Structure 1
Amino acid sequence: MNTRDAVFPPGRQALYEQNRYSPAVRANGLLFVSGQVGSREDGTPEPGLEAQVRRAFDNLNAILQAAGCTFGDVQDVTIFMLDPQSNFQRIWDIVQAGYWGDAPHPTVTAVGVTWLYGFQFEIKVVARLPGHHAASGSVQEK
């Protein structure tokens, strides 16, 4: 049987167990983080786009910290949003002002979608775990 090395942030494990998925999984020196939305502790959405973006990043950062990572370890980002024509710049202003960090920045793919389970924004990332670095195209321990 293949066992996943799941990472759970403090205080939200019941929510993930109820929905039957892991918030993040460690594998081969990388941390694969499930899409994070602007949900409160009980799983309900924060009201308003800006509050959802901030809460999604707070939820993401809690998972990164539980794995010993920071946003600086993030290598790849996928952002999903409703109505990108209207919302992209609002989201980007929040992200750049408070969460993105210093250059060099991670790769980013932004995708417009029609449904996010009652949310307006979702962020999914892949991060490098501390103690691992890429060398010659492969992940090696320091």
Structure 2
Amino acid sequence: MNQRDIVFPAGRRELYERNRYSPAVRANGLLFVSGQVGSREDGSPEPEFEAQVRRAFDNLNAVLAAAGCSFDDVIDVTVFMVDAETNFARAWAIVPEYWGDAPYPSLTGIGVAWLYGFQFEIKVIARLPDAAA
């Protein structure tokens, strides 16, 4: 099996290794980022929904930055939300702080019953800059 080209954000490698998954994998000019939740440095969830959403985006941005990317490089987004009927509008009030201007990435939004103690998760696929491809 080929060795995976893994990207770890600064200061969170132990958290990912403890949970046995990679935060992101580089392949064929793309960056595949695992779902990012609103976890603090120790892995515990932010208690408030809006704080979880912001922390999830901050954690995502840290992974993107570790690969030399930014949210401008994101081409596809999947979000998962507990109680999406209630929380979607709350999350989407925060999104413009992170997404910037159009054109926006493609999006799939999924309502779920459980997210391992979290209420919001975001995973993306991004283009790697030419220098990092």
Q: TM-score, normalised by structure 2?
A: 0.97
Query: Offset at 1:10?
Result: 0.3
1:58-77 matches, within 5 Å, as 58-77=58-77
Query: 1:36 — aligned with what?
Result: 36
SS at the partner of 2:50? helix
Count of aligned pairs between the two proteins = 133
Q: Distance in 2 between matches of 1:45 and 1:87?
A: 16
Q: Distance in 2 between matches of 1:120 and 1:28?
A: 32
Q: Distance in 1 between matches of 2:123 and 2:107?
A: 10
Supply the AA of the counterpart residue of 1:108.
Answer: L
Query: 1:21 — aligned with what?
Result: 21
Q: Distance in 2 between matches of 1:30 and 1:73?
A: 10
Supply the AA of the counterpart residue of 1:81.
Answer: M
Supply the AA of the counterpart residue of 1:38.
Answer: G
Query: 1:138 — aligned with what?
Result: none
Supply the AA of the counterpart residue of 2:117.
Answer: G
Query: 1:102 — aligned with what?
Result: 101
Is 2:125 the partner of 1:126?
yes
Q: Which runs of 5+ in 2 are unaligned?
A: none
Q: Distance in 1 between matches of 2:87 and 2:38?
A: 15
1:96-133: CA deviation from partner (whole Å, max 9, x where unpaired): 2x01111110000000000000000000000000018x
Q: Distance in 1 between matches of 2:101 and 2:126?
A: 16
Supply the AA of the counterpart residue of 1:20.
Answer: R
Q: Distance in 1 between matches of 2:101 and 2:89?
A: 19
Query: Offset at 1:2?
Result: 1.3
Query: Offset at 1:29?
Result: 0.2
Query: Offset at 1:49?
Result: 0.4
Query: Offset at 1:63?
Result: 0.3
Q: Which runs of 5+ in 1 are unaligned?
A: 133-140
SS at the partner of 1:99? helix
Query: Offset at 1:17?
Result: 0.4
Q: Distance in 2 between matches of 1:108 and 1:49?
A: 20
Q: TM-score, normalised by structure 1?
A: 0.91
Supply the AA of the counterpart residue of 2:104.
Answer: H
